[in-house]
Structure 1
Amino acid sequence: MNSAKIELRNLAFFARHGLMKEEAKLGQRFRVDVQVKLDPALDLQSDSEAETINYVDLYETVKQTFEGTRFNFIESCADTIARKILERFEKALEVTVKVKKPSVPVDCICDYFAAEVTRCR
């Protein structure tokens, strides 16, 4: 079976997501990873934009969703991004979105906490 995917890794966004009042007030940087599995029937040998997903359009969808809505939970954020990508891009068969929150309101030392969601057609 053939497979192809597009990945956007470690996208940085500033937003005010989070359940706590301080998170909503101050905001913070988040990181987002997106993986889109393409329809295996696409003719990638054609080297045609009609046979793939434009990276810029994909990025803009992620950015608009992430920055355009305030989420209490990063799980909801990841799910909304994945659903929007599937709605907008018919060539996407499966989408995985990971939202990473580096500044967590927990007394710990860590790189980040994250939520990952996968949605399929």
Structure 2
Amino acid sequence: MGTIKLKNIRTFSYHGCLIEEGKIGSDYSVDLEIKANLKHSAESDNLIDTVDYVHLNKIVEEEMAIRSNLLEHVTKRIIDRALKEIEMITKIKVGVSKLNPPIGGDVEAVTIEMEEERYFNL
């Protein structure tokens, strides 16, 4: 088993329940951590034998471009799509952070973190 992490994927997106958030947008940061069997790729040195982090980054960027009211919703979409498109993933953890959220206080970020595990039928 191994871990692949993508840290601080930065996007400018339009998530939020307030109408203004959908119009002016905000800065976001996404952290992604996946578990997969990396033994074969460590031996083969072949991209086809591993989880391509370029593909992971593309999923994050595309899903962050689709407006959601809640960070939970976009986080779940990222998880679902990664598990659907990349069969090697056995576990995924995603954190989506809204930087400088408009909540009437001095808050650096609000983060939603969710994880899911793929269960294989034996």
Asked whether the two chains share a fold, i.e. TM above 0.5, the reply is yes
Unaligned runs of 5+ in 1: none
Matched residue type, 1:35: E
- Which SS does the other structure have where 1:100 is aligned? strand
- Which SS does the other structure have where 1:57 is aligned? helix
Distance in 1, Cα, partners of 2:61 & 2:7? 13
Matched residue type, 2:58: E
Matched residue type, 1:72: N
- RMSD of aligned residue pairs (Cα, Å): 1.4
The number of aligned residues is 118
Q: Pick from 43, 46, 50 the counterpart of residue 45 of structure 1.
A: 43
1:29 aligns to 2:27 (yes or no): yes
TM norm structure 2? 0.90
Report sequence identity in percent. Answer: 27
Distance in 1, Cα, partners of 2:40 & 2:68? 35
TM norm structure 1? 0.90
Determine the structure 1 residue equivalent to 2:99.
102
Determine the structure 1 residue equivalent to 2:112.
115
How far is the alpha carbon of 1:39 from its aligned partner?
A: 2.8
**8 Å Cα contact 2:91-2:116 kept in structure 1:** yes
How far is the alpha carbon of 1:108 from its aligned partner?
A: 1.6
Matched residue type, 2:4: I
